[in-house]
A and B are shown apart, each in its own frame.
Chain A
Amino acid sequence: KQEVTQIPAALSVPEGENLVLNCSFTDSAIYNLQWFRQDPGKGLTSLLLIQSSQREQTSGRLNASLDKSSGRSTLYIAASQPGDSATYLCAVRAANFGNEKLTFGTGTRLTIIP
């Protein structure tokens, strides 16, 4: 059974700093991995999707990497801003045909201090 863990559970950093969020998963047989952000009381916004054959994806100040063999992904946020404050979730989709489910991590609650 796939298990996804995110460390740390919470993180506070001053505005302007670069930061890294971590995601680890136990079964490396994944189809893809997605990073999401969730604001309080809201749904999820997709940030980046990495296919199993890719090693990284970039969007603006965000860069996500994937090391499938070691079961790890990182989300790098450059030049953090107060608007980046949210909970960040990673989720993996299994590689076996017919398994449509995403398995979510526990999330990292990020606070950017102005």
Chain B
Amino acid sequence: GAVVSQHPSWVICKSGTSVKIECRSLDFQATTMFWYRQFPKQSLMLMATSNEGSKATYEQGVEKDKFLINHASLTLSTLTVTSAHPEDSSFYICSARDLIGLGEQYFGPGTRLTVT
């Protein structure tokens, strides 16, 4: 099946710093990628939808200036958490939709962010 990778798998940073998370579709092209956030024992919460070459669409309540998303190519999207705070600590998961086929979504392994 299709593979989506994320890097890093975990990161610890200090308050006030910025962290970049990469999401890559390894063996398929994705015009649309999604970024989710997941709190312990809860389901996934969609943060934003990114389309290659255009601005991301953010869900209500998600600060676009804090969570910067760039979808520079058909295989790479990045999420930058700017001026991180402890409350940004969470599990971030990206997803990519295959350009062709049935529109199945494939998910990355997630990135555990801890802000101290």
| A51 and B104 contact, CB distance less than 8 A | no
Q: Is B68 an interface residue (CB 8 A)?
A: no
Interface size counted on chain A using CB atoms at 8 A: 22
* CA distance in complex: A91, B45 (Å): 12
| B49 and A101 contact, CB distance less than 8 A | yes
Residues from chain A with Cβ under 8 Å of B103 in the complex: 31-32, 93
A46 → B minimal CB distance (Å):
6
* CA distance in complex: A51, B6 (Å): 28
Q: Is A102 an interface residue (CB 8 A)?
A: yes
| A43 and B104 contact, CB distance less than 8 A | no
Residues from chain B with Cβ under 8 Å of A101 in the complex: 34, 46, 49
A32 → B minimal CB distance (Å):
7
Interchain Cβ contacts under 8 Å between A and B, 11 examples: A34-B105, A36-B107, A41-B91, A43-B108, A43-B110, A46-B106, A91-B105, A100-B49, A102-B46, A102-B105, A106-B43
